[in-house]
Amino acid sequence: MNKSIGKGSLVLIASALICKLLGAFFRLPLTSILGIEGIGVFQMVMSMYSFVLILTSGGVATALSKHVSQARAIGDYQKIKSLLKTAVLYSFIFGALGGGILCAFCRPISMLQGASSGCSAYLLMALIIPLGGMIAAFRGFFQGYENMFPTAMSQVLEQIFKFALGLCFSFILGKRGIQAGVFGAFLGIATGEIVALVFLYVCLKIKVKLPSEKSKSFSAVLLKSCVPLSFGAAVLPFVSALDSFIVVSRLVAAGFSAQTATALFGLQTGVVGAILNFPLIISTSICAAMLPAVSYMQAQFDEQRHQTIAKTLKIMWFVLLPLVSGICCICKPLYQLFYSSLSPQMLDYAVRLTCFGAASVIVSALMQFYIALLQAKGKFGFCLTAYAVGGLLKVVCVYVLCGIESINIFGVVVGNIALSATVCVMAIIKNRRKISMAFFDMALPLLASFAMALSLSLFTSRLAMSNLMQIVFNIAVGGTVYALLTYPILSEIICGVFGKAKAKTNNTNQSL
């Protein structure tokens, strides 16, 4: 693996792990404050927020990362300044427009979702969405320099303030009801974004040395990239937003009460979804670090990029499999420990949703990887098409399957797998150049993950332990078993990522 990809991935993974843990701990007390119905309302508003944010500025970070890295490769720093200016203005203008629309139509949107308690939270979107867009622009700029620290640190700061103030505001305001509690949670999110934006701006002033001349021009190439990238990236949250309109009503049509249907939706998106998204930290971080590095090598016609891509896929595959398998093994004691208020029926749903949804995690990670390669090549239009086809297929699956009583909420899982698999296959075909991975490197982690899960199921069924001890035991034993079975690959990866870097002489302006 390229040293910059390895280092950048580790930094992003570390920050993402911290953020995920803070996010999980945020949802635990938030669920207690708002209740399972309230967390369902929170997730409905969050799905719309995510959709509009990505629609207005979702492609900015990726586009800026790609174009800044290519400009660095040829030493055009005046262009970099123009790219940053364009990205920030684009994010702010379209973010303010999207947030204003949500704010203006908050009541009809809430009524369509069947959750009028989320109405007041939409009023904050006029502030939150423009801030989120500008944060994405600054993060994309630093990623273009292959410096992931500002992105990582800003994510951690954002989560800390969201965690502390979001819970504080929701607890204080939640005494007035679910609507006020959900508003308080989003008020904490707004505060976290302000802190993150200030931190990134300070980093820009301290660390970056760009030409002093004012840039009067805007980057047309960035705007051309941002539009298809934003629309493509918006497909996933758009489909999630459609879930908030479709799932509850289809579950009611299948025979569930409105309260149970809302609770199941909150369980899938707010509880199970948070756990299943945990392994995707690895793939998301690797792809974010890989894209500018591959773009840089591509601009310099470096043929070693193909070898770098193959090694990156090998590492991602090696790390993801045991994580997914391990989550399936510990999900029941994990839910019993952290969500003790779940009824036996809801606990059973949560465990089954986690185990069935594990397949979607692997397919989603592969989808992210191959899409990142297409983005590095500038195939933004095709990425949009692939996402649109996959998203349409998911909507059909969710609408049909969630209305069948025997399938119910599991229709969302099937829809997720259908979306990821469709996009992944289309991206693999479009990439054309075969990314080779040895059969041994592919099969050994797969077999070792299966052996790890089997050994854990045999051990834990014979031992009487508390939920916490069972989780710790499974992680320790499972990690040891997997490491021993895959030692040849593990040692090779450790040497590749942490091995001694070759000495380089770089222009000081090419790194921060």
Is the model's pLDDT at 129 over the cut of 80?
Answer: yes
| 52 neighbors 124 (Cβ within 8 angstroms) | no
How far the first Cα of the chain sits from its last, in Å, is 21
Q: Out of 102-106, 197-201, 317-321, 409-413, which region has the weakest mean confidence (pLDDT)?
A: 102-106
Other CB atoms closer than 10 Å to residue 44's CB: what's the count? 31
Which residues make Cβ contacts (< 8 Å) with residue 297, sequence separation at least 6?
A: 2, 304, 305, 308
For residues 371 and 385, the answer to whether their CB atoms sit within 8 Å is: no
Measure the CA–CA gap between 499 and 185, rounded to whole angstroms. Answer: 44
The reported pLDDT for the residue numbered 303 is 66
Distance CA 80, CA 211 (A): 9
DSSP conformational letter for 511: -
Please check the confidence at residue 511 and state whether its pLDDT lies above 50.
no
Q: What is the pLDDT of residue 21?
A: 78
CA nearest neighbour of 13 among 316, 230, 446:
316
For residue 395, give the amino acid letter.
Answer: V
Alpha helix (H) ranges present in 58-124? 60-74, 77-104, 106-113
Output the pLDDT for position 500.
46
Every domain of the chain and the residues it spans:
3-437, 438-497
Distance CA 60, CA 295 (A): 16
- Secondary structure of residue 466 in the 3-state scheme: coil
pLDDT digits (tens, 9 = 90+) for 415-461: 999 999 999 999 988 887 667 777 888 889 999 999 998 888 877 66
Q: Residue 23 is encoded by which pair of tokens?
A: 């996010």
More confident residue, 54 or 504: 54
Whether the CB-CB separation of 226 and 30 falls below 8 Å is answered with no
Average pLDDT, whole number, for the chain?
A: 82
Beta carbons of 44 and 115 less than 8 angstroms apart: yes
